[in-house]
Structures are given as structure tokens and as C-alpha cells.
Amino acid sequence: MNFYKVLEEVILSDDIVFKEKMTLQCLQYCNQNQVSCEEGFIPLHFEKPSYASKCRIVDPRQLPARKDFDNPEGLATLVHAIAHIEYSAIDLALDAVYRFPDMPVAYKIDWLEVASDEIRHYKMLSTLLTELDYSYGDFPVHCGLFDAAEHTAHSILDRMAIIPRYYEASGLDVNPQIIKKLDNKRKNPVVKKLIDTLNIIYDEEIGHVHKGDKWFKYLCEKEGLDTSVYFEILKRYKLMSKHRPHINVEARKEAGFNCIEIKKLGAKVCDE
């Protein structure tokens, strides 16, 4: 297998069936082989996300409000927004493998496993959209995660800090809040399925953040850096000033954050 060429094709493809098939093949290959890349390999700079062929990309301020979950369209906008995050996360996990070929095979396996999880999450949400008579691409999206990947393409330390340890960790804060808002509507079978799906995503995303935390700390140790460099990176990307109304202390601890970090991010209380 020309591993990196295959990964490139998978990242560029908007076909979820192809993405799933080839991600599993890449994962199987990594589990059975020492993966090396051709001398002089230079990863592509992706001009646009793979979902650009499916979705209309707009400024985040132009996205429809997601408040009314009592009608199919309102509920579909919420499901679509979460599906978009999961779809974006597929390509981000694959890109983490593709763009940084010098990392150990265990790193490659971790992120291919994450990509496989994200594909499964996306498919569950896509099924829910179908039940609501919608499909992925019916609502506009923003490309914030794609932009974050582009901005961190030069540095694997920044990538691990920003994508899993900032954006995915923020999802751990938000997910329970969404479930809480939906809870009184769980008599609706689609809402019940959405809550069940969000619970699965939540449990597995803790593991994803933990993988990001593990490799962030590995890189800090390798480069002789204190893990407090995390906050320097957040400041550099202008993320420290972002308002975080709900910090999920327990989930973040489970994912590898310590209480000093969690309090610095805005939590009032955190017990070791």
C-alpha cells in the first residue's frame, strides 16, 4: 500500500463509504506493518475541505439559529450542525496522520481509530437527518475546524494543542448542555435517538481528547517543554479569551487535564 497517497485520496474524497473502507484498510495496514513514507514526501496543502462539494460554506454569523427543536426543521438544523462537526473531525484525524509522517506508528493507529469513530458518529447523525427528511448539505456550514487545521499544519505540537486539546475538549463542555436542553423532548423518538447518539459521542470523545493529551505530552517531553506551553499556544491563536460558560471538570480530568489547567480555563472548582 502507498499509505500516504491513499490517505491523501481519502481526505480529498467526499464519499463517506470510501472514507470508511479506506480508513479501515489504513488502520489494518498500520497494525501489521512499519509504515514509512517516500523520501522527499511533502503533504498537500488542501485548498478547501472535502465537504465543500456537498455544503454551502458561510461565515459563522450567517448560520441559522438553533433554538426551536419542536419542529423537524429546527431539530434538523441541530443534527446537521453536529453531523458537520463529526464529518470535519474525520478529515482532521486523517490529516493528523497524513501531515506528520515522522510520528510513531502508535500515533498513526490512534488517529486512524479516531477517524473510524468519527465516521461512525457521522453515519448515525446522517441517519437521523434522513428520518427528519433532510440530508447533510441541506443547511449552510462554516469551515472553522478546517481553518484551524490549516493554521496548525506547520506544527504537530500546535495541532495536538488546538484540535483535540482545545476544540474537541470544548465539545466535552457543550455536549451535556445540549442533552440537557433536549431532555424534556425525549418522548419524540428522533430526539430520544439523538440523545442516545450524543451520549455515545460524548463517551468516545473523552477517549479522543485523551489521545490528543497523550501525544501533546509526548511532544512536550521530546522537545523539553513544560506542558504549560499549552496556554502560550492558546494565546498565540487568540483562544484564551474565548468565553467558556461551562467547563466539564470531570470529563476533562478523565481526558488528561489537571486541575491547574482546568481552573485556568475558567472552572471555579476542581479537586484533584
DSSP state at residue 48: S
Show me where the domains of the chain are located. Answer: 3-34+68-224
Average pLDDT over all residues of the chain: 94
- Residues contacting 118, CB < 8 A, separation 6+: 86, 87, 89, 90, 93
| In the predicted structure, residue 64 carries a pLDDT above the cut 80 | no
For residue 141, report the phi and psi dihedrals to the nearest 5 degrees: -135, 165
The pLDDT value given to residue 33: 83
Helical segments of the chain, H only: 3-12, 16-32, 72-98, 105-131, 144-151, 156-162, 169-182, 189-223, 229-236, 249-254, 259-264
10 Å Cβ neighbour count for 14?
17
pTM higher than the cut 0.85: yes
Confidence of residue 83 (pLDDT cuts 50, 70, 90): very high
The pLDDT value given to residue 58: 94
The grid coordinates of residue 57 equal 460554506
The pLDDT value given to residue 180: 94
pLDDT in tens, 153-192: 999 999 999 999 999 999 999 999 999 999 999 899 999 9
pLDDT in tens, 219-267: 999 999 999 999 999 999 999 987 778 899 999 999 999 999 999 999 9
User: Judging by beta carbons within 10 Å of its beta carbon (0-12, 13-18, 19+), is residue 128 exposed, middle or buried?
Assistant: buried
Confidence of residue 146 (pLDDT cuts 50, 70, 90): very high
Confidence of residue 272 (pLDDT cuts 50, 70, 90): confident
Confidence of residue 143 (pLDDT cuts 50, 70, 90): very high
Q: How far apart are CA 216 and CA 178, in angstroms?
A: 28
- With beta carbons less than 8 A apart as the criterion, state whether 200 and 85 touch: no
CATH class of the domain comprising 3-34+68-224: mainly alpha
Percent of the chain with pLDDT over 90: 85
Q: Say whether 212 sits in a helix, a strand or coil.
A: helix
